[in-house]
Chains A and B, each alone.
Chain A
Amino acid sequence: MDRRAGWRLWLPLGLMLLFLLLPFYWMVLTSLKDRTELLNTPNPWWVFHPSINSFVDLLTQTQYPRWFLNTLYVSVGATALSIVVSYCAAFAIVRLKFKGARALSTAIFFSYVVPPAILFIPLAEVLVKLGWFNHLWALIPIYATFLVPFCTWLLIGFLRSIPRELEEAALVDGASWPRIMIKVILPLSVPGLISATIFSFTLSWNEYLYALIYMFSSDNKTITVGLTTELMRGDVFQWGQLMAGSLLGTLPVVLVYFFFVEYYVAGMSGALKD
């Protein structure tokens, strides 16, 4: 509506974006610099001899493509699992109101306060007992522990915003609850599901601690773990490749956001409505 937004929009917005993007500009510069230029330059804010060697080396000399696929696999898996499980739980809590639903929703919310930085030792014992150690797929349920509480909470909010009349009408027509869940409410929940999906995907994509601690084989590394364990060599860091890897690793998530950002906002706003 406000197409003639003048300097009062662009000045503060520009400054904010500048601040938010600064480190990324730096990443791009660094990924294009060779080591000599990184340390000796007349102007650190520019690259005078750009080269894509870091990208080439990253893709050919390291297992980066594999780390990428691993990350994709775990992120998609953890997201899918969390969304399905959370939608079921949220539907049960909001629409079915079975006995104990309220207590359950409170409990799920509270489970969010447990800090992973210490949970990982006792959790490791559980994983060993289950025989899940050093299996890449084990990261999927592990990530669900921090995705499910948020997704369930978000979907609870979203489902509440869907008018109750809809299902009442369906019930009068003789539809069963499972049918209502899938045919009536699910299509209406799409914006909420998209928000939850994007959110879960981002958190899984960037997870570091669990992936670092619980995976032992090199074949099981994710992007964050692979980059930090193989390119930070003692006291010599492969800065160009590290930054190239960060940029390439951020790209898919940015694309996802670029296409779904509107749904994300819509879904969140649905969840926040009364």
Chain B
Amino acid sequence: MSDFNRRELLQMTAAGALAVGAGARPALAADYKPMFDVEKGASLQLLRWTGFIDQDDKQWKINTDAFTKATGVPVTIQEVSWTEIQAKSGLAAQIGSGPDVIMGFYDDPFIYPDKLVDVSDVCEYLEKKYGGFYDVAKSYGYDTENKRWIGLPMGGPGAAVTYRESWLKEAGFDSFPKDFDGLLKAARALKKINHPIGLALGHAVGDGNTWCHTLLWGFGGKQVDEDNKVAIDSKETREALKYAKALYETMIPGTASWLDVNNNQAFLAGQISMTINGISIWYTAKQKFPDMFPDIRTAPQPIGPVGHATNFNLFSQSFIFKYSKYPNAAKEYLRFMCEREQMDPWVTGMVGYVTPALKGYADLPIWTKAPEITPYRDVLKDNHPDGFAGTPGRAAATALNDFVIVNMFADACAHGSSPEDAAKSAAAKLKSIYGS
């Protein structure tokens, strides 16, 4: 084990040597103006999710190295797959030890708000400089009860429609429909020419949740009202379920077991004509499926009877634990990573997989580099957070993790329940979660 420690030591001294070489006393590079008073001898551990696209991790590392070079603060990055982040951050919160900074998802900071460092100063600074956060981003970082920021919103790996243009044309549509009615018509026409669509209905953290929530909200349904009272058993929900059932009947068989990876594979195998996904399908095709690539198009998610977009996306924010010995260094690191000099190459490297939480980054050149990337620029507009219309927190997190909404849709679509029964049983589950 001494071997491993030596290696760590080597890394650290290398970083230190670099900083010393740069001339500043403990650390700072001459032309670098930190916003925070970085602690002497600080070092940071970051836990983040493995990038959905390998360029993500690579660029993040390059940016981090630039931070180390500028400030002399070495940063150890640990990556785990995105579905395991919760376990590790939860454990860290519980035992009061672990990484200084974690990039988590959804309601994570609201499960243990008392354990987190107030990052209002960074957030307010970034907000001012880059045109403010999208509303949904704010709800994933701002603790309304205590009027402070506990998470720094990073962005959402956004979901949009990914489809095969030639098949859509063959089915009689020139462009992808903009509303739910059109979507159903297109799906039926596509099924008729044997190119069905496919949307995940299994316990898929991203791809199952996104479209189900979008449908639910598009019809005006919601799991709880503003006071966190269960409101799922409503006419709107039943309408959404009826519609989903009709849509499900046009889908390729087997979507009830789909996890996040399945729709990508089915699409790239040419088995489905359309799905709702991040940009990873288009990106993988660009690299590995040159024949299919020119035929792939993307479009914003259609709009429901409520008349505006009601998207739901994965969302990631960074938070700092109070047990960290170097909270200022951590804040400085996050600020650094969110500045344009770092954000631009990061988002560009991963061709817009993560849409930044700050509105100002809608003008990055990458968004208009290909028309297929553009829809992902706007995915965070008109979003609701999970647990809508209630407040983020433990109950909302539990409902999301128990897949209450996805299971309700799966129940009505694939497992033979009537919309009434599906909504009722979801209401029962939500009541036991929200305790009302």
Contact = CB atoms under 8 A, between A and B. Distances in A.
Interface of A: 34-36, 39-40, 120-121, 124-125, 128, 133, 135-137, 212-213, 216-220, 228-230, 232-237
A109 B392 CA distance: 45
B7 A218 contact: no
Interface of B: 1, 4, 7-8, 45, 47, 49-54, 76-82, 84, 87-88, 91, 94-99, 157, 206-207, 260-261, 263-265, 268-270, 277-278, 280, 284, 288-289
Main secondary structure of the interface of B (DSSP, over half): mixed
Given A39-B268, A124-B91, A213-B91, A234 B78 contact: no
A217 B47 CA distance: 9
Contacts of B277: 235
A233 B94 contact: no
A39 B269 contact: yes
B78 A216 contact: yes
Contacts of A218: 76-79
A235 B80 contact: no
B81 A124 contact: no
Contacts, number: 101
B54 to A, nearest CB: 7
B88 A213 contact: yes
B4 A220 contact: yes
A234 B77 CA distance: 18
A219 B280 contact: no
Contact of B47 (A121, A128, A216): A216
Nearest to B1: A137
A230 to B, nearest CB: 6
Contacts of A125: 94-95
A70 B177 CA distance: 53
B261 A121 contact: no
Given A128-B95, A220-B4, A234-B53, 18 more contacts: A39-B269, A121-B95, A128-B96, A133-B98, A136-B4, A216-B45, A217-B76, A218-B79, A228-B81, A229-B84, A230-B50, A232-B261, A233-B50, A233-B54, A234-B50, A234-B260, A234-B280, A236-B53
A266 B98 CA distance: 45
A36 B78 CA distance: 31
Nearest to B45: A216
6 contacts: A36-B289, A120-B91, A124-B95, A125-B95, A216-B99, A219-B7
B349 to A, nearest CB: 14
Nearest to B288: A35
B288 A234 contact: no
A230 B79 contact: yes
B194 to A, nearest CB: 17
A244 B82 CA distance: 22
B80 A124 contact: no
B280 A212 contact: no
